[in-house]
Amino acid sequence: MACSILLSSALSPPSVGKPDDFLKPALRMSAITESVHNRRVTEEELGSSASADLAAWLFFQLAADHVFLPILVATFVFSHSVIRHSTVINICCTWILSGIISSLLLYSGEASGPEPSQGLCTVQAALMSGALPMTSVATLALAYRTWRSCTPGTSQLREKTSWTTRIMFILAPYITLGVFCAIAANLGVQYPSHVDRGTRFFYCAVNLEAFAIAIDVFSAVVCIIAAGLFVHLAMLQLRSREIRPVRQHSAKADTALRIRVGLLTLYMLTATLANLGSLGDPGTAFPDIFTASVGMAVFVIFASQFDVLRAWWSWRPCQSPLARPRHARNISPSDARTPYPSFDLDLLNKRTDSDVSDKARLEALHTYYAARVRGEGVKVEIIDRPQDAFIRDGHELRRASVESGLAGSKRGRSWA
């Protein structure tokens, strides 16, 4: 009985009123494939501008991330006159690493032409998945450190930051890179057909829409938090300026640095939002090129500071030791200046170190400025105390005379 029912149901023709029932599984599978596969822009869509877009993208990767930023990092590390916090150096290093990851196909000579090998493409796709989150976290670390050092109630603690906090600031971007890289590598192994260069044109990627949304949303949220910290900091700055105007040079320099970090945060936020918006409009190469330009923005923002430019100018190879000022006076060989003694800037910078005593700092300053004053042709006498400027001669107190190269006069004052 049961067999006859099954046979009759199998042989009976389908209902006439529902012809689309057979198409539903195919349509459902097509929809799933369409939603899973994430496409940015192809070479066919770019057309004649494909080569120009690729050249612009590679220019930012090579010029900024391979040349300019390494020079800037070397300046921060080796120059004694340019001192930067580790978060500033770290954000430069993250963009250098991002440029290396983006140029893997260029290193192997497969940046254009046929599809690269599956192994190399999977490696770059996994690393590229964590590049944008890594640089976003580095931006947040820099923004948080700047906000924390300027917020009332925490500014007095900025010199006592624990080693744990410093290490966390440095390692957080690379931990983020490792997490997203591991997830992308797992997805690339499970779905090898969704790992290619054709759907992103500039680099290989794991073309799964859910994963791409997670990357862009995470990066955008992190940059929004960083921008929020700077909005709060700007409000505090405006309130404090209304109460007490900023007049000191150091305060103005700190404000300029905060503005630079704020501009970088805004630039990075724009890049992440552009990547997030490209999910709805995949037919443009603007998000990838704009994101690649962030490394150049990092270089311009931090390399245009005065102390960095001055350090580079002092390192110029064509500097002549015989160069003189335009209106230099004639000095006899007997009155020629002796070289100024060197002064260790660490004696001024390391104010909180116990190994640098006040006596050593004062002695170094004493020697340094005494030599500079004598080098100008002025005869002076270095005194230890202010009251030593008065010399007792009998019943008189007269002020010690100072002979200068310009006046050459003596002044005295008598007391009855």
Residues 169 and 269 placed together within one structural domain of the fold: yes
Q: Backbone phi, then psi, for 81, in 5-degree steps? A: -95, -5
Most confident of 13-17, 33-37, 269-273: 269-273
The Cβ of residue 105 has, within 10 Å, a number of other Cβ atoms equal to 19
Question: Could you read off the pLDDT of 334-376 as tens digits, one per residue?
Answer: 444 444 444 454 455 544 444 456 666 667 666 766 666 555 5
- Is residue 48 in some structural domain? yes
Q: What is the DSSP string of 35-76?
A: HHB-----HHHHGGGHHHHHHHHHHIIIIIIIIIHHHHHHHH
Residue 413 has pLDDT above 50, yes or no: no
Between 249 and 49, the more confident residue is 49
Which pair of structure tokens corresponds to residue 192? 């090898």
Residues 222 and 361 placed together within one structural domain of the fold: no
- Is residue 22 in some structural domain? no
Residues 377 and 239 placed together within one structural domain of the fold: no
- What distance in Å separates the CA atoms of residue 255 and residue 261, rounded to the nearest whole number? 10
Question: Could you read off the pLDDT of 69-113 as tens digits, one per residue?
Answer: 999 999 999 998 898 989 999 999 999 999 999 999 999 998 888
The Cβ of residue 386 has, within 10 Å, a number of other Cβ atoms equal to 7
- What distance in Å separates the CA atoms of residue 255 and residue 411, rounded to the nearest whole number? 46
* pLDDT band, very low/low/confident/very high, at 412 (cuts 50, 70, 90): very low
Residues 224 and 350 placed together within one structural domain of the fold: no
Query: What percentage of the chain carries pLDDT values higher than 70?
Result: 57
Give me Rg for the CA atoms of the chain. 33
- Is residue 96 in some structural domain? yes
What's the one-letter identity of residue 36?
A: V
Last residue of a domain, one of 294, 313, 332: 313
- What distance in Å separates the CA atoms of residue 262 and residue 227, rounded to the nearest whole number? 7
The domain in which residue 237 lies consists of: 31-313
Which pair of structure tokens corresponds to residue 388? 């030593």
Q: What is the DSSP string of 112-161?
A: SSSPPPHHHHHHHHHHHHHHHHHHHHHHHHHHHHHHHHHSTTTGGGGGG-
Average pLDDT, the chain: 75
Q: What is the DSSP string of 318-367?
A: T--TT---TTPPP--GGGPPPPPPP--THHHH-TT-TTS-HHHHHHHHHH
Residues 172 and 307 placed together within one structural domain of the fold: yes
Residue 401 has pLDDT above 50, yes or no: no
Looking at the structure of the chain, the number of domains it has is 2
- Is residue 360 in some structural domain? yes
Question: Could you read off the pLDDT of 184-221 as tens digits, one per residue?
Answer: 999 999 999 999 988 888 999 999 999 999 999 999 99
